[in-house]
């Protein structure tokens, strides 16, 4: 599945370079028009991120996201600063299809286990943003990617799998926003190691060939942000590549 993505800072669509808030590019987008077009073209779900909320949950752009949910009928998965049952309930009640959980995976694991049980595995996506070292340790980063945890991607998936974990959004931070290609080896490895997980790959997609290469890794979905905003290819082309694998 192709999942177009939009990230927001202070109400404006942006893309960060390798997760660096000081290195961002702004985009003048009519989001309502984009969402209408994507639904018409066959997109099944959109990924939205509150980057202000991801860095500091007190600065979440609630007004913006409530407004988006009020005017669109295309399914949305929403992340960024969502760290409580109240947050999850609010967005689900407003019509969000899936809730993306980030920092709480590390900071509040017991609660996240409860959320998987309460809301079901289809409603919760764990966002595993990884910094990969020279030993191939996939260390999870949190709080807007500013802090490295001491926990790896594999440890997180093994911890939450008994509680119904199904959807994992995995981002190689070193690739994010670069358009230089995704970490194909990473997605090959994790999709083979955890065949029960529906992985969403994110970071670095810049060409249609990148989509074709990711399709072959057996991941379930591809998150695409900057390359669509900068018209490196059209959404129809991306959907066709994913469907046909060529």
Query: Per residue in 79-134, pLDDT tens?
Result: 998 999 999 999 999 999 999 998 899 989 999 999 999 999 999 999 999 999 99
Is 50 assigned a catalytic role? no
* pLDDT at residue number 87: 93
Q: Which of 7, 172, 176, 210 is catalytic?
A: 7
Higher-pLDDT residue of 150 and 152 is 152
State how beta strands 2-9 and 221-224 pair. Answer: parallel
210 counts as catalytic: no
Strand pairing partners for 50? Answer: 8
- How large is the C-alpha radius of gyration of the chain? 16
Note the pLDDT tens digit of each residue in 194-222: 999 999 999 999 999 999 999 999 999 99
Q: Which two tokens stand for residue 1?
A: 């599945």
Lowest mean pLDDT among 15-19, 34-38, 164-168: 15-19
Residue 119 or residue 22, greater confidence: 119
CATH code of the domain containing 122: 3.20.20.70
In percent, the amount of the chain with pLDDT more than 70 equals 98
Separation between Cα atoms, residue 109 and residue 200, nearest integer Å: 21
* pTM given for the model: 0.94
Q: What is the pLDDT of residue 54?
A: 86
**Three-state SS sequence of the chain:** CEEEEEEEECCEEEEEECCEEEEEEEECCCHHHHHHHHHHHCCCCEEEEEHHHHHCHHHCCHHHHHHHHHHCCCCEEEECCCCCHHHHHHHHHHCCCEEEECCHHHHCHHHHHHHHHHHCCCCEEEEEEEEECCCCCEEEEECCCCEEEEEEHHHHHHHHHHHCCCEEEEEECCCCCCCCCCCHHHHHHHHHHCCCCEEEEECCCCCHHHHHHHHCCCCCEEEECHHHHCCCCCHHHHHHHHHHCC
Q: Is the alpha carbon torsion for 61, 146, 117, 201 positive or negative?
A: positive
More confident site: 177 or 87: 87
- Number of domain units in the chain: 1
Catalytic-labelled residue, pool 87, 129, 172, 176: 129
Structural domain harbouring 19: 2-244
pLDDT value at residue 246? 57
Percent of the chain with pLDDT over 90: 83
């Amino acid at each position: 599945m192709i999942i177009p993505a939009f990230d927001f800072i202070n109400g404006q669509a942006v893309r960060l370079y390798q997760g660096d808030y000081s290195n961002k590019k702004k985009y003048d987008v009519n989001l309502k028009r984009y969402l209408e077009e994507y639904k018409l073209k066959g997109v099944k779900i959109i990924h939205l991120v509150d980057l202000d909320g991801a860095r500091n949950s007190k600065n979440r752009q609630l007004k913006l996201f409530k407004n988006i949910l009020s005017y669109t009928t295309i399914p949305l998965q929403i992340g960024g600063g969502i760290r409580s049952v109240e947050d999850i309930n609010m967005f689900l009640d407003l019509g969000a299809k899936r809730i993306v959980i980030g920092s709480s995976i590390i900071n509040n694991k017991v609660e996240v286990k409860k959320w998987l049980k309460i809301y079901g595995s289809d409603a919760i996506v764990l966002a595993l943003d990884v910094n990969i070292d020279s030993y191939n340790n996939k260390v999870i980063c949190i709080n807007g990617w500013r802090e490295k945890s001491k926990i790896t991607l594999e440890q997180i998936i093994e911890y939450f799998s008994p509680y119904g974990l199904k959807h994992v959004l995995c981002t190689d931070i070193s690739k994010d926003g670069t358009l230089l290609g995704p970490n194909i080896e990473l997605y090959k490895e994790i999709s083979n190691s955890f065949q029960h997980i529906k992985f969403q790959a994110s970071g670095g997609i810049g060409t249609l060939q990148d989509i074709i290469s990711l399709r072959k890794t057996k991941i379930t979905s591809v998150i695409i942000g900057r390359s669509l905003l900068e018209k490196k290819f059209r959404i129809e082309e991306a959907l066709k590549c994913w469907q046909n694998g060529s």
